[in-house]
């Protein structure tokens, strides 16, 4: 049985095209993925992200520190941090946002279905972990006009800095409002009680500048922005240096996988995550090989058509000697070739 978010009936009433995502029945699109992506880049789009896993930790931060690549205790209350959890060999077990709620409380926000796996990784530290009961639902308002929408709907003076959050009431509903997102656009993630989600959803959609967007647009937007998806672009086989995530490593603290990464840092990696821009509208697809002439030099991990560039785009791992931006390559899969050029990330 697929799980349903509190907005499932709203999606059906809207005529959304539904699909399965990590055990959830979720909206893929309402109109078209390209139209929804364009709207988010230009205006403000509303996403149902209630499928994301959340874990609440209460206790000593010292028990948590060895599992994360950045310091938790140095973040003041009201701040969020993107962090990695690694294996002993330096592979990426999970990426997540950590919210510092107060002196002894952290909120972990993870990919859908990842909560149980993280609890296993934490092992003996896991007894301090629980699933939050009051704010375990989430919707995202993303796009350049998102802040104006909130100000006009709720008489709210918006002043949050990136990766900051605040406790606030929106239309009388208690919310945690976080200036974070997964689209590359300004916006907020809103945590609130599940029973209040439809009410707030309807209120935000009452603004003429807001439209709904599904997971299809969300995936395309994050691809354009060069943001990774766990299980596609990163996993235990990939280390942070290959993935271009080394800025999220704090070598001044001890964490699992640090010793292995210090060795990798000295030796370097054979491959690196880069972007690809097609010479045509044809979109490279995940699983395709990246070739220089007849030599395979990499693999595509995510791909799609970019409405912003009007070209096919992708990201993947390419051998370093072929990773210079502008380098011409050929993406091949099932006998269909696609000429492309290597690009820095983000792609827009």
pLDDT at 336 over 90: no
pLDDT at 219 over 80: yes
pLDDT at 135 over 80: no
- Structure confidence at residue 190 (pLDDT): 98
pLDDT tens for 65-98 read 999 999 998 999 999 999 999 999 999 999 999 9
pLDDT at 263 over 80: yes
Cα→Cα distances 194→8, 198, 221, 255, Å: 12, 8, 26, 35
Average pLDDT over residues 32-61: 96
Average pLDDT over residues 250-269: 97
- Structure confidence at residue 8 (pLDDT): 98
Is residue 11 within 8 Å of residue 48, measured between CB atoms?
Answer: yes
pLDDT at 133 over 80: no
Tell me which DSSP letter residue 248 carries.
Answer: G
If DSSP codes are grouped into helix, strand and coil, which group holds residue 7? coil
pLDDT tens for 282-301 read 999 999 999 999 999 999 99
If DSSP codes are grouped into helix, strand and coil, which group holds residue 213? coil
Q: Which residue would you say has higher pLDDT here, 225 or 62?
A: 225
| Distance, CA of 122 to CA of 124 (rounded, Å) | 6
Q: Which two tokens stand for residue 156?
A: 């709210």
Q: Which residue would you say has higher pLDDT here, 212 or 1?
A: 212
Average pLDDT over residues 43-52: 97
pLDDT tens for 178-192 read 999 999 999 999 999
| Distance, CA of 279 to CA of 23 (rounded, Å) | 36
Average pLDDT over residues 231-251: 98
Q: What burial class does residue 1 get, using C-beta atoms within 10 Å of its C-beta: 0-12 exposed, 13-18 middle, 19+ buried?
A: exposed
Strand partners, 182: none
| Distance, CA of 112 to CA of 53 (rounded, Å) | 5
Q: Which two tokens stand for residue 130?
A: 């629980």
Q: H helices within 161-205, ranges in order? A: 197-205
Q: H helices within 66-170, ranges in order? A: 115-122, 146-154
pLDDT tens for 144-202 read 999 999 999 999 888 999 999 999 999 999 999 999 999 999 999 999 999 999 999 99
| Distance, CA of 50 to CA of 7 (rounded, Å) | 9
- Structure confidence at residue 277 (pLDDT): 98
What domains can be seen in the chain, in order of their start residue? Answer: 1-269 (3.30.1360.120), 270-348 (2.40.30.110)
pLDDT at 333 over 90: no
Average pLDDT over residues 41-56: 97
Buried b (16+ CB within 10 A) or exposed e, 187-200: bbbbbbbbebbebb
Q: What burial class does residue 250 get, using C-beta atoms within 10 Å of its C-beta: 0-12 exposed, 13-18 middle, 19+ buried?
A: middle
- Structure confidence at residue 51 (pLDDT): 96
- Structure confidence at residue 124 (pLDDT): 84
Average per-residue pLDDT for the chain: 96
pLDDT at 28 over 90: yes
Average pLDDT over residues 103-132: 90
Confidence category of residue 127, pLDDT binned at 50, 70, 90: confident
Average pLDDT over residues 325-341: 94
Strand partners, 279: none
Cα→Cα distances 73→101, 163, 204, Å: 11, 16, 35
Average pLDDT over residues 301-327: 97
Cis-peptide, bond into residue 346, ω within 30° of zero: yes
């Amino acid at each position: 049985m697929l799980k349903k978010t509190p907005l499932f009936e709203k999606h059906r009433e809207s005529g959304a095209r539904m699909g399965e995502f990590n055990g959830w029945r979720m909206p893929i699109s309402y109109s078209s993925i390209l139209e929804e992506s364009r709207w988010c880049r230009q205006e403000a789009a509303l996403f149902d992200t209630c499928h994301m896993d959340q874990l609440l930790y209460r206790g000593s931060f010292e028990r948590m520190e060895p599992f994360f690549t950045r310091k938790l205790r140095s973040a003041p209350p009201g701040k969020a941090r993107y962090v990695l959890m690694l294996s002993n060999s330096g592979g990426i077990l999970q990426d997540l946002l950590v919210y510092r709620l107060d002196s002894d409380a952290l909120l972990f926000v993870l990919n859908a279905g990842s909560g149980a796996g993280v609890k296993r990784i934490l092992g003996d530290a896991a007894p301090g972990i629980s699933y939050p009961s009051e704010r375990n639902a989430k919707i995202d308002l993303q796009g350049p006009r998102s802040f104006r929408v909130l100000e006009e709907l709720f008489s709210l003076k918006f002043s949050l800095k990136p990766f900051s959050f605040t406790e606030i009431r929106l239309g009388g509903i208690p919310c945690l409002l976080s200036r974070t997102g997964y689209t590359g656009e300004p916006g907020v993630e809103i945590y609130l009680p599940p029973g209040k989600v439809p009410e707030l959803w309807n209120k935000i959609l009452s603004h003429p500048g807001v439209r709904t967007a599904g997971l299809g647009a969300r995936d395309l937007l994050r691809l354009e922005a060069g943001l990774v998806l766990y299980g596609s672009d990163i996993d235990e086989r990939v280390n942070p240096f290959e993935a271009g995530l080394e800025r999220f490593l704090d070598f001044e603290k001890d964490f699992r996988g640090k010793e292995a990464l210090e060795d990798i840092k000295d030796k370097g990696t054979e491959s690196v995550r880069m972007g690809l821009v097609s010479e045509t509208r044809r979109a490279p697809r995940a699983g395709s090989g990246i070739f220089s002439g007849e030599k395979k030099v990499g693999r595509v991990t995510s791909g799609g058509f970019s409405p912003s560039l009007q070209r096919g785009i992708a990201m993947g791992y390419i051998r370093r000697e072929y990773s210079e931006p502008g380098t011409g390559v050929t993406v091949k899969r099932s006998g269909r070739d696609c000429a492309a050029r290597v690009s820095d990330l983000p792609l827009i």
